[in-house]
Structure 1
Amino acid sequence: MNEEVLGRLKAAEEVFWKNDGYKHHEVMEDGAFTMDDIRAAEERLSKFAPLIERLFPETSGQKGIIESPVMRLERMERHLDGVYGTALDGSLYIKRDDILPISGSVKARGGIYEVLKHAEDLALADGLIDEDLDYAQFASDKFRELFSHHTIVCASTGNLGLSIGIMSAKLGFKVEIHMSADAKAWKKAMLREYGVDVIEHMDDYSRAVEVGREEAMRRDDFYFVDDEDSVTLFLGYAVSALRLKAQLEEVGIEVNRDKPLYVYLPCGVGGAPGGITFGLKTVFGDAVHPVFAEPTHSPCMLLGVMSGRHDEISVRDIGLDNVTIADGLAVGRASKFIGKTVGDMIYGFYTVEDEALLKLLAKLRDEEGMKLEPSALSGMPGAYKLQQKDPDMTPGTHLVWSTGGDMVPDEVWRKDYEEGQALLGDE
């Protein structure tokens, strides 16, 4: 373990660690998952597109496909050039998962995909699917009757709970979402509006997962969506890489070893960034370099991968409190599945202080008119932190992967914005 980095982690200081276990793509071709697995997930989502369009009319413009655009950040890039005192060697873009339909976050992909796959499995087992009809048939009464006898259970700091809860409730499932103490009140309230049973825990995310998993195991009619260990979630997130490739080609962005793509991914327990990373490395190979971003008080994936102990070590073991304004990233113990599956695909890790997130939130609104939640800003400084760490890196395209923001109530978001403005004013 890197003792210098560990010391700075213990002090809750911002740090960048370039992963010394990072491997080339060709070394990983005998992995447990393949491009065929990603394509199968993409095909299933396409089959369900007519249903999604019927249940959520806001997706009609994309015919039921849940996807976000890629946008250039010219003004924000100029601002960050000034902050870091150097011009970025490349161009800065953002993947707008903060405006994804249905749940307004990166979790809309994996979470909704897992619910849909479970619904399909139940319908196939019951012989309900009419092969002459498209999957909009899942909105009919006979399907809702079947699903009403089944309960979907999930543990969440917020955004996964929204995606699981909203889609499950729309299909007619009973839903239980176990929420950790750091989950935002508005997310709990929104779930209850959909008829979801929200169970609040006064402990952190890991305890909420443990209780939810134990409850689901006691009942045959309960299905647990395990953010720490779900292959289905993982593959749902990975689909995004196929779509990103097409988006970059549309705007003429080349991605190859001479013009690499650097992707900055906010990380909590690791499910979403892990699945996206697997997809990116499978689609782009050595031409892409994923970098994970975490709060200074919750660097669980960095700690787990750097130590090699994965889920066997918690941020509390090094004296951190796991308290951060970035609620979706407030996780003290990383996923074992993700760390062991994609740990050697992650180019590097860095941490960000809460105050920095709030300042970035305010500045992004002022410069680009975008409304992101604090956790979604953790990827924003990544390109500059990497360039400071490795000034000889190959120039390329830098993509900040946003995670949430669109569904945050204005009055809640405004408080974060005003706090960020005040911090900027104090500089």
Structure 2
Amino acid sequence: MDLSPFQNLIDELKSKKMIVWKNKKKSEIYQIDSALIDDAEGRLKRFAPYFQEVFPETKKQDGKVESVLQSVPVMQQKLGVKGKLYVKRDDALPISGSIKARGGIHEVLYAAEKIAMEHRFVSLEDNYKIFTTKPIQKLLSQYTIVVGSTGNLGLSIGIMSATLGFKVNVHMSHDAKEWKKQLLRKIGVTVVEHSGDFSLAVDAGRKEALKDPNSYFIDDEHSKQLFAGYAVAGRRLKQQLQEENIAVDANHPLYVYIPCGVGGGPGGVTYGLKESFGENVHGYFVEPTESPCMLLGMATGLHDKIAVQDIGLSNLTIADGLAVGRPSSFVGQQMEPLLDGIMTISDERLSQYVRTLYQMEKIIVEPSAVAGFIGLEQLKDAADNPNATHIVWATGGSMVPKDEQQKYILG
């Protein structure tokens, strides 16, 4: 492949500097498939009675799997932000404690509903508490959910699938944390460990699922149902901002900074944000300096035809959820007209932000989840706008064991 037109950018990436890449393909002309989001939103509502029954922590939100939007005034002062600064607390989402509780759980529900309807065990008019009954659980136990993951997607899918009665096989890449593997095994999930990275784990899961007609493969690289589940976040955020009386319009722009691995989570969220806020929202992904796969794929236009290893980067980072060498082509192409840009962040800065967020706000998250704070440093003009609202999307952390959390905040 001829990479000479992109040599300056590649040299910057190879230098491991923290950079901002602006997306020149962003356009005011784009299409959003609202029906895809409607479908996911409807499914999540139908399963709300089921969630209340099996996950008591969802009762206070009537079965909605949603996170709070938290103001962080001390952090805001520390970073010198003149507008409003919030953290979207997906690190504390019910059920699996990460952003994957949006897309991953939604796709498991999609599979369960599809199978139950095909066997006439349920209809759209039913109360979905019916999914707690033995006949449906026995039906679903004949099927296997398969996924490849660096950790958090495997957790969300493992917990949800096992609760519904599915068999579950999670293929974990070498960077997946040991405690995540142990938690999955404890609830009866089969964890298959690989010495390779995320792409290898996904490929192994895909091949396994092809061998069994009763297997359902959740494809983090290409799935529309994962993407749709994440996209519902845009509508819910719009409601939360309205409840806080926060205007989002041409004079009050919204900036959102989201950590990026393969791209499904941040891509789906950005898609939903564009549906809700149009040109008044500015979306940025953030990737580790050793794993800028989406930046590399989108900047070159090669998407999944290029990996960070091809330009000499290691794909080794403390941000295990972002340790992805090859991006989703599906997401990259969806983001071409929508995304403002992508930033990179060093492991050292990730560690600093984890400690600072704890010191300033007593919030403990995984290193991946603080990546968005670099946006406030990199976009000084935006940070200096007193009319702007900034949201750092925290993507995981509440399920991290206490001893691991201590390691994060002590450095």
User: What is the TM-score normalised by the length of structure 2?
Assistant: 0.96
CA displacement, residues 347-397 of structure 1 (integer Å, 9 cap, x when unaligned): 011111001111110110111010110000101121221226x78989511
Aligned-residue offset at 1:246: 0.4
Given that residues 83 and 386 in structure 2 are in contact (C-alpha distance below 8 angstroms), is that contact kept between their aligned partners in structure 1?
Answer: no
Aligned-residue offset at 1:12: 1.5
**Matches of 1:300 and 1:38 in 2, distance apart?**
26
Aligned-residue offset at 1:343: 2.4
Given that residues 297 and 322 in structure 1 are in contact (C-alpha distance below 8 angstroms), is that contact kept between their aligned partners in structure 2?
Answer: yes
Aligned length: 407
Q: Aligned runs of 1:132-147 on 2, under 5 Å?
A: 133-147=126-140
SS of residue paired to 2:267: helix
Given that residues 267 and 293 in structure 1 are in contact (C-alpha distance below 8 angstroms), is that contact kept between their aligned partners in structure 2?
Answer: yes
Pick the aligned partner of 2:380 from 387, 396, 416: 387
- Give structure 1 regions of 4+ aligned residues with deviation exceeding 6 angstroms: 390-394
Given that residues 83 and 383 in structure 2 are in contact (C-alpha distance below 8 angstroms), is that contact kept between their aligned partners in structure 1?
Answer: no
Q: Aligned runs of 1:24-423 on 2, under 5 Å?
A: 24=28, 27-29=29-31, 33-81=32-80, 88-129=81-122, 133-387=126-380, 395-419=387-411
SS of residue paired to 2:145: strand
CA displacement, residues 89-148 of structure 1 (integer Å, 9 cap, x when unaligned): 422111000000010000001000000011000000001116664001011000010011
387 and 133 in structure 1: CA distance in 2 versus 1, 3 angstrom threshold:
same
Indicate yes or no: 2:7 matched with 1:14.
Answer: no
Paired AA for residue 345 in structure 2: V
Give percent identity, aligned residues only. 49
CA displacement, residues 183-239 of structure 1 (integer Å, 9 cap, x when unaligned): 000000010011000000000000011111011011101000000000000000000
Aligned-residue offset at 1:36: 2.3
SS of residue paired to 2:168: strand
CA displacement, residues 283-304 of structure 1 (integer Å, 9 cap, x when unaligned): 1110101000000000000010
**Matches of 1:49 and 1:392 in 2, distance apart?**
41
**Matches of 1:348 and 1:287 in 2, distance apart?**
15
Paired AA for residue 14 in structure 2: K
CA displacement, residues 251-303 of structure 1 (integer Å, 9 cap, x when unaligned): 01000122111100000000000001111111111010100000000000001
Given that residues 360 and 377 in structure 1 are in contact (C-alpha distance below 8 angstroms), is that contact kept between their aligned partners in structure 2?
Answer: yes
**Matches of 2:299 and 2:385 in 1, distance apart?**
22
Paired AA for residue 68 in structure 2: P
Given that residues 266 and 293 in structure 1 are in contact (C-alpha distance below 8 angstroms), is that contact kept between their aligned partners in structure 2?
Answer: yes
**Matches of 1:417 and 1:392 in 2, distance apart?**
29
**Matches of 1:415 and 1:329 in 2, distance apart?**
19
**Matches of 2:232 and 2:15 in 1, distance apart?**
37
**Matches of 1:6 and 1:397 in 2, distance apart?**
32
**Matches of 1:184 and 1:178 in 2, distance apart?**
13
For structure 2, the 5+ residue unaligned runs are none
Task: Give 1:423's aligned residue.
Answer: none
Paired AA for residue 370 in structure 1: I
Paired AA for residue 8 in structure 2: E
Paired AA for residue 282 in structure 1: E
Given that residues 206 and 332 in structure 1 are in contact (C-alpha distance below 8 angstroms), is that contact kept between their aligned partners in structure 2?
Answer: yes
**Matches of 1:354 and 1:132 in 2, distance apart?**
50
SS of residue paired to 1:228: coil
252 and 393 in structure 1: CA distance in 2 versus 1, 3 angstrom threshold:
closer
User: What is the TM-score normalised by the length of structure 1?
Assistant: 0.93
Paired AA for residue 294 in structure 2: M
391 and 218 in structure 1: CA distance in 2 versus 1, 3 angstrom threshold:
same
Given that residues 258 and 394 in structure 1 are in contact (C-alpha distance below 8 angstroms), is that contact kept between their aligned partners in structure 2?
Answer: no
Aligned-residue offset at 1:398: 0.7
Paired AA for residue 70 in structure 2: M
319 and 393 in structure 1: CA distance in 2 versus 1, 3 angstrom threshold:
farther
394 and 3 in structure 1: CA distance in 2 versus 1, 3 angstrom threshold:
farther
Task: Give 1:85's aligned residue.
Answer: none
Paired AA for residue 377 in structure 2: Y
Given that residues 261 and 289 in structure 1 are in contact (C-alpha distance below 8 angstroms), is that contact kept between their aligned partners in structure 2?
Answer: yes
295 and 254 in structure 1: CA distance in 2 versus 1, 3 angstrom threshold:
same
Given that residues 256 and 390 in structure 2 are in contact (C-alpha distance below 8 angstroms), is that contact kept between their aligned partners in structure 1?
Answer: yes
91 and 28 in structure 1: CA distance in 2 versus 1, 3 angstrom threshold:
same
Given that residues 261 and 323 in structure 2 are in contact (C-alpha distance below 8 angstroms), is that contact kept between their aligned partners in structure 1?
Answer: yes
After superposition, the CA RMSD in angstroms is 1.5
Given that residues 5 and 15 in structure 1 are in contact (C-alpha distance below 8 angstroms), is that contact kept between their aligned partners in structure 2?
Answer: no
**Matches of 1:418 and 1:349 in 2, distance apart?**
29
SS of residue paired to 1:345: coil
